[in-house]
Amino acid sequence: MHHRSLPASPNWYCSRCSDVTDSGLLGFGAKNVIYLVDASASSCRVVGELVGHRDLVSSFSFCHHVGQSHVCVSSSTDGTIRFWDSEKKVLLRENASHQHAIAAVHWSPVDKNMVVSGDEKGVVICHWYHTGDIVSFFPEPRKVFCLSCSPHVWNQVAVGYKDGMIVLIDVSRKGAVLHRLRGHDDEIHSLAWAPSAGEDALYSRPEDGPAANGVTEGEKGGCYLASGSKDQTVRIWSTEKGKGVMTLKLPYLKKRGAGADPGVKERLWLSVHWPKGRPTQLVSSCFSGELVMWDLTKTGKQKWTLFGTSSEGQNHSRIVFNMSSVRLQDGRELIFSTSMDREIKCWDLVSLDCCWTLPTLGGFAYALTFSPVAAGCLALGVGDSMIRVWSTLTIQNQYDTRSFWQGIKSKVTALAWHPTREGSLSFGTDDGKVGIYDVFSNKPPQISATYHSKTVYTLSWGPPVPPVSFGASGNKPSFSLYSCGGEGVVLQHDPCQLSGEASDIDRLIRDTNGIKHKLSPHTDLSWKPDGKVVAIGNEDGSVEVYQAPSLKLLCSIQQHHKIINTLRWHHDHGSQAELQFLLASGSTNAKVFIHDLRSIIESPPDGPVVLTEPHRTLSGHTARITDMAWSPHHDARLVTVCYDGTAQVWDVLQEAAVSNYRGHAGHLLCVDWSPVDPDVVWTGGKDSTVQEWSVSKQEFTKPPKGKKMMDKMKTNPKQKKKSRKEAGPEGAPPPSVEIPPRSVNGEGEQVETSAPGEEPSGEEEGASTRSAVPPPELHFLSVKKRKPRALLPLSTCMDHRSKEELLQDCITLATVRNSQAPPAGCIPGQGENIHLGLFSDRQALYRMLEAEEKGHVDAGHPESVMYIRLWSGDLEGALQFATETGELNDHLLSVAPMAGYQVWSRTVEAYVKQLCLQEQYLKAASHLLSINKLYEAVHLLQSHKLYREAIALAKARLPPEEPVLKELYTSWAAVLEKDGHFSSAAKCYLAAGASFDAAKVIARKSDVTSLRTAAGLARISGEADLARSLSLRCAKDLAAAQDWVGAQEVLSTQDDLLVHRLHFCVTELLTVTLAESDVTWSCVSNHPWASPGGRHGSIQDLIRGVWEEEFGVSGSSAAQGVAQALLQDLKALESPQPTANIPLKQVLTYSSLHLTRAVLSWLGEDDGELMKEFWQAVAWPRDAGLLSVSAALCRLLFPNGDVTVCSRKYPKILRHTEERVKAASDSLLAFVHYHRLYESWWSHSASSQTRSSDAGQESVERNSDAGQESAERNSDAGQESAERNSDAGQESAERNSDAGQESAERNSDAGQESAERSSDAGQGSTHERQNGLASSLGDAQAGDVVNDKVVNGESGVCICPATRTGDDERIDFKASVLLCEAQAACQAIHRSIAEIQERLAAMMAQHSQAQGGQPNPGESQAGATQPSSTTTADAGKRPGDQESLLSLSTKMMEYHKKLAELPETVKMYPHPDVVECCLVLLHFGKRSTAVSDSLRREATDLLRKYGTTGSAHKAAQRFLT
């Protein structure tokens, strides 16, 4: 695609970044690209690129095996290994097995499939190309610098490390170390194996011995290994013995024509190469880029021969990094070298002469232009701070280039040849300088005294305009140099007096055109070749055309709407004269407009004309237009370059695309047409290459469409940052920043950074002085030191002039010192005699220092400015300048007191601000202390979250009662608390005296340990209320975990928590006692007084005894007041209404709460409160659905069934006169006898098989009837009770069904009746109970007593009450208490209300279905179960019995009225279901004499009166007929 090109510079500081095949194909890594060069002994040509790495290429190697030599491998600092096909230029495979930057890679010369790589952490990986397998080794925990595979044995690899160690490893033995070669003191830069096996090649003569070579005898089993190190030595090692056999010290060679600076230590990179077929000759690099050939068999001091001695300038001028050799088919042996001087050289190993040199570019190609006078002379402005002048027409050397770097300290961004003077080349730089070089002399450039404040983007030669044109005819130049900078200013420089001040042409434009408003910032300018008009592009997208020399505004072109990047006039030597008036403009909007200005230029209008329509429009590019050039060989043919990465040739008049070039791998920045070949165009860009290509040989015609071509080439921003930090090591110094796209006053496009590997100038070693300071710990291949900057560069450069001028200086100085008046125009220390200020008087010295200071300011060297001011005695000025530029340091601060206290104090404060910006807060606070600003130092540390340091400082220097301390502690505690560091926050609160907050923050963790600690802290600190609260929380958590001992220990620390200790004691005793009956679980930890076994009497007796023994709470008259006070405290605790979903632990807690209140009421002689609390203690588990727990608690409280006997151990008979107390006593007695009734029934069933069968049958009938009655009665219960009772009813139905089946075998009629009643019971059990109390059915069924499981809680054990084993057939309790007519009436009303509610619900459901409506989501579940309920309710009704909604509502009101008329005590203290008890007694008495006749008659009467409706009707029929 292209003819010739200058590639990017090979990467620096890499041990193996280039290699060559046997056919002469040279490959080298440059930035993140691998360039391929077809090399021979006479010429070279870049033939392709391998693009794909995301970061710098650190190593490269070809496969040197027949049939596979086109395959190569490369490594990168991005941690990847890539295999390439160099013929097809495609990627074959990628491997990312390394986790860190790779330092070296080598393809084994013995095994065609083995590749070895090593990274900066010491990991060595063996890759197998044919299978893709890898094997990893870690021979040494050191940083790998280089490695090399043995050319004789496939499994041996030599690895060189940063610390000077060399290790030989065996990859076939898992990386086992064969030898550790110690001798070098610094980095190992290169390793090279001897080309022949064996260790006898160095002994060519028998007389050679240890004195000559240090070798005692030849070795036949191993191979020699050469190493080059930074310690300036080359060592030869015996791999058989594992030790060194020869040491070669580099010679000091003085470069011709250059003096050595003894104050600057030379850089060194010692590369070694052992050419094939030359076992006794070794090539190495030297200090300043020379190559030397060592004869290892030669005796004497000088064993080396220098390359390139036949003529001047053959050697490299900088250190050499890589060497590789090849023997061509014609027999010639060549060696290729890459160097820091950015040249690739080819050497003949026989003559040791340089065959050819390939120049490379170390930065972006920002500008290129052909000389209008010297044909084929191409100037290149490059980002490596050098100008290259390429004689492209030289036949002998196709790459005949010269480099110019003197006086250039920044990127060269603009170039312009003088139109008529041969060799005069103007240049502009990134730092705003404008200068002129004479490329045919060795003189330094002339630099304009006027700098731009930003990057110089454009240079143009044109006729002078005022004020330069006002000079005398003899002094008036024929051309002026115009420069346009990034700040938007166009300056006119007089090339004859560059030391004078340049003029801003905006002044002339304003004066001539009477412009009062602010002019738009300028971005580009172009003079018409005849010099009559100039076109100036602006930031706002306008183009203005002015007439010379007055710069009268002719027209303003308002077509672009974005910044103008380039303007070009058509040449004036075409066949069509009218074409010379064509102006092409390129902008950021990707379009090129062509303007025909013939009429305006030939007939200037009186006033400026505004043009809004272009003559031609060239569309096709997709990004910013950066440069363009008219063909000097054609009419109206234009080439443009763009950020889309392509160059486009246009036929302007036809608006047609002619050819599109896509050979670059980055944005294009510059273009020019060959002055001698009409078909050749030259382009340069961000890929750091300049390429020559033919218009007619391109594959594409138009630019690429859609997404920018270069998007895929953009580097990841994170990779860019990494590349900047590690730039030097992997092949280039720290990259400098790319010139931003044209922007003015900081308002342009975003600045883009350069690609990895952008290299600095040729003058400054390594990193450019404008680059950022490298990190403290440089990468393993980074540059260690830089050449120090000269303090007096202006005067120093004057000493580098020609011999004649230096001698003339001596005459001038003698004249000045020995005469009263100096020669005319000679002022020492100023102008051209600035350097004489050092040798003249003090005033001359001050003038020199002033000029030097100004130069440093313009160049951006603040440190040098400060030194000059310090040395000249202006200490305050130096400090002020350092303050303004942010360059204060410890040294300046140490001398600041010499300027006075006020200056020193201001300087310290400024330095503190600077340190804060640098995030050096501790250092900043320390400096504040030096000027006695303690509070400010503390506040500084606090504001940056350095609380620990701030507290340490304040506590050490301030009084203890200082409020600042408390504020610091409080602020820090808030931050710690927010981050979850509660213990540390508590310490801060304690230190601040906020004990309450300390306890609260510790308690936020809410675990037992934290709560215990918080309670103790609050107690110690005197926060009694908080200590009680936290202790109680902790004790509750311990009790929930059944750790009763721990709970009591926590409560015992607070004397005012005695009542809670009593409550926890009762809970523990109740839990342990119930656990003996398998009702609850066993405890984790309990007290000895709560141990199970050996108890007699009621549980309240046990509680009272424990209270007296353990807590000192007794029933004496003196203690009654204490008991009453404790009771009042305990009543403050809430006791919610029980529900079916409360866990068993919580049920026992609330039940024990009422039991504790009951015992305290007993001790306080309050019998009424005692009975109420007993009733509540029993009601809690019953109402929560825990039937077995309620039954067990009744047995524990009243073992003999008499509720009037509170205690037998402490004789106490209860006498009740109050109505409510008596009602509670009767209800409690009823439930006690209710449970005893079931115990008697089951005891009777166990004594006789027949009686058991009858009891089972009667149980079914009874439970069926009871279930029906309960359903009718419990109509107003909550949803939770309904769900619980539904489950209970279902279990009851299943158990009763089984019982009915057994009865059916004995009595088919009875079994049938039982099945029906059981079904009714199952349906009715889903109904709810009024007042939130549990369904009597759930409490009444014998099957529930046997099989009821502890719900909602921890135990699933089936509870069966103890049965009596005697044969006594009499009931030993007063069963008549169960047959309370008032309660029966109340329960009947509840059943009737429930039945009406069910019928109303069924009626509404039927109505909804008849209307075709869908039930809402809340009714869906009820509707799903409605049919069965309706069927049950309406089973016995005839069609005529159906009632209306109005009648049902009327009945509902009547029942509610009757319910309201009942006594409150009847509704407040309910009894067991009376109808259920009647059925049980009648079933029991049917086959037993235990029930008396009077009791049966009473039960029959109640059943007849209240059991003839609902589901109990069927069960009652057999007893009523």
What are the DSSP calls for 239-279, one per residue?
TTTTEEEEEEEPP--PPTT----TTSPPP----EE--TT-T
Q: How long a stretch of residues is the chain? A: 1521
Q: How far apart are CA 196 and CA 200, in angstroms?
A: 10
Q: What is the pLDDT of residue 49?
A: 93
Strand ranges of the sheet holding 304-306, from the earlier edge strand across to the other edge? 272-273, 281-285, 291-295, 304-306
Name residues whose C-beta falls within 8 Å of residue 1047's C-beta, 6 or more positions apart in sequence: 1034, 1035, 1036, 1038, 1039, 1064
Name residues whose C-beta falls within 8 Å of residue 516's C-beta, 6 or more positions apart in sequence: 510
Q: How far apart are CA 742 and CA 672, in angstroms?
A: 20
Is the confidence at residue 961, as pLDDT, over 60? yes
Q: What is the pLDDT of residue 541?
A: 93
Is the confidence at residue 1266, as pLDDT, over 60? no
Low-confidence winner among 664-668, 753-757, 1160-1164 (lowest mean pLDDT) = 753-757
Neighbouring C-beta atoms of residue 92, cutoff 10 Å? 13
**Structure confidence at residue 724 as a pLDDT band (50, 70, 90):** very low
Assigned token pair, 461? 């030669």
**Structure confidence at residue 1116 as a pLDDT band (50, 70, 90):** low
- Mean pLDDT computed over every residue of the chain: 79
Low-confidence winner among 317-321, 769-773, 918-922 (lowest mean pLDDT) = 769-773
Is the confidence at residue 1283, as pLDDT, over 60? no
Peptide bond into 549 cis (omega under 30): yes
Q: What is the pLDDT of residue 438?
A: 94
Low-confidence winner among 187-196, 671-680, 692-701, 781-790 (lowest mean pLDDT) = 781-790
Q: Is beta strand 552-557 parallel, antiparallel or unpaired with respect to 609-611?
A: parallel
**Structure confidence at residue 921 as a pLDDT band (50, 70, 90):** very high
**Structure confidence at residue 885 as a pLDDT band (50, 70, 90):** confident
E strands, 351-431, in order: 354-359, 365-370, 377-382, 386-391, 401-404, 412-417, 424-429
Q: What is the pLDDT of residue 471?
A: 58
Name residues whose C-beta falls within 8 Å of residue 1060's C-beta, 6 or more positions apart in sequence: 1032, 1035, 1051
**Structure confidence at residue 1145 as a pLDDT band (50, 70, 90):** confident
Identify the H or E element spanning 46. Answer: strand 44-51
Q: What is the pTM of this model?
A: 0.53
Low-confidence winner among 402-411, 1163-1172, 1276-1285 (lowest mean pLDDT) = 1276-1285
pLDDT higher at 734 or 286: 286
Neighbouring C-beta atoms of residue 1114, cutoff 10 Å? 17
Identify the H or E element spanning 90. Answer: strand 90-95
Cβ proximity of 512 and 498 under 8 Å: no
E strands, 267-374, in order: 272-273, 281-285, 291-295, 304-306, 320-327, 333-339, 343-348, 354-359, 365-370
Is the confidence at residue 212, as pLDDT, over 70? no
Is the confidence at residue 449, as pLDDT, over 80? yes
Nearest to 584 by CA among 621, 537, 547: 537
User: Could you tell me the CA-to-CA distances from 988 to 935, 979, 1020 in Å, in that order?
Assistant: 20, 14, 17
Mean pLDDT computed over 1378-1388: 84
Terminal Cα-to-Cα distance of the chain (whole angstroms)? 119
Neighbouring C-beta atoms of residue 579, cutoff 10 Å? 18
Is the confidence at residue 1335, as pLDDT, over 80? no
Q: What is the pLDDT of residue 644?
A: 93
Low-confidence winner among 40-44, 281-285, 823-827, 925-929 (lowest mean pLDDT) = 823-827
Share of the chain above pLDDT 70, in %: 79
Is the confidence at residue 62, as pLDDT, over 70? yes
Identify the H or E element spanning 1452. Answer: helix 1445-1461
Q: How far apart are CA 1071 and CA 1073, in angstroms?
A: 5
Name residues whose C-beta falls within 8 Å of residue 1423's C-beta, 6 or more positions apart in sequence: 1405, 1408, 1415
**Structure confidence at residue 1096 as a pLDDT band (50, 70, 90):** low
Q: What is the pLDDT of residue 1081?
A: 58
What pLDDT, in 10s, does the model give residues 360-407? 999 999 999 999 999 899 999 999 999 999 999 988 888 999 999 998
Nearest to 761 by CA among 437, 990, 429: 429
Is the confidence at residue 1264, as pLDDT, over 70? no
**Structure confidence at residue 1 as a pLDDT band (50, 70, 90):** low
DSSP 3-state of 323 = strand
Q: How far apart are CA 1398 and CA 1386, in angstroms?
A: 19
pLDDT higher at 1195 or 272: 272
Q: What is the pLDDT of residue 761?
A: 36
Q: How far apart are CA 638 and CA 632, in angstroms?
A: 10
Q: What is the pLDDT of residue 1089?
A: 77
Q: How far apart are CA 1134 and CA 465, in angstroms?
A: 101
Q: Is beta strand 90-95 parallel, antiparallel or unpaired with respect to 456-462?
A: unpaired
Q: What is the pLDDT of residue 323?
A: 95
Q: How far apart are CA 23 and CA 18, in angstroms?
A: 15
Nearest to 359 by CA among 86, 37, 89, 676: 37
Mean pLDDT computed over 159-186: 93
Nearest to 1292 by CA among 1042, 1060, 1511, 1023: 1511
**Structure confidence at residue 1168 as a pLDDT band (50, 70, 90):** confident
Strand ranges of the sheet holding 456-462, from the earlier edge strand across to the other edge? 456-462, 480-485, 490-493, 503-504
Q: What is the pLDDT of residue 1107?
A: 81
Query: For the chain, how long is the longest CA-to-CA vector?
Result: 160
Cβ proximity of 30 and 9 under 8 Å: yes
Q: What is the pLDDT of residue 608?
A: 92
Nearest to 256 by CA among 291, 290, 302, 293: 290
pLDDT higher at 788 or 481: 481
Identify the H or E element spanning 1391. Answer: helix 1381-1410
Is the confidence at residue 1403, as pLDDT, over 80? yes
User: Could you tell me the CA-to-CA distances from 633 to 584, 1053, 1297 in Å, in that order?
Assistant: 17, 107, 114
Mean pLDDT computed over 830-835: 84
Nearest to 1477 by CA among 1498, 1456, 1451: 1498
**Structure confidence at residue 1234 as a pLDDT band (50, 70, 90):** confident
Q: Enter the DSSP assignment of 1100.
A: H
pLDDT higher at 312 or 1485: 312
Share of the chain above pLDDT 90, in %: 43
Which one of 262-271, 278-287, 790-799, 1024-1033 scores highest in mean pLDDT? Answer: 278-287
Which one of 508-522, 698-712, 741-755 scores highest in mean pLDDT? Answer: 508-522
DSSP 3-state of 37 = strand
> Which residue has 């020559």 as its token pair?
692
Find the angle CA(1340)-CA(1341)-CA(1346) to the nearest 5 degrees: 120
**Structure confidence at residue 439 as a pLDDT band (50, 70, 90):** very high
Q: Enter the DSSP assignment of 1441.
A: G
Q: What is the pLDDT of residue 1371?
A: 60
Mean pLDDT computed over 804-818: 85
Mean pLDDT computed over 1103-1114: 80
Low-confidence winner among 82-96, 114-128, 249-263 (lowest mean pLDDT) = 249-263
Assigned token pair, 465? 């305009």
Mean pLDDT computed over 775-781: 35
Mean pLDDT computed over 638-650: 96
Q: How far apart are CA 949 and CA 954, in angstroms?
A: 9
Assigned token pair, 493? 């420089």
Cβ proximity of 123 and 100 under 8 Å: yes
Give strand pairing partners of 305: 293
1013-1021, long-range: CB within 8 Å, 24+ apart, which pairs? Answer: 1015/1050, 1015/1053, 1015/1054, 1016/1053, 1017/986, 1017/990, 1019/1053, 1019/1054, 1021/995, 1021/996
Q: What is the pLDDT of residue 221?
A: 64
Cβ proximity of 999 and 1026 under 8 Å: yes
Q: What is the pLDDT of residue 1337?
A: 32
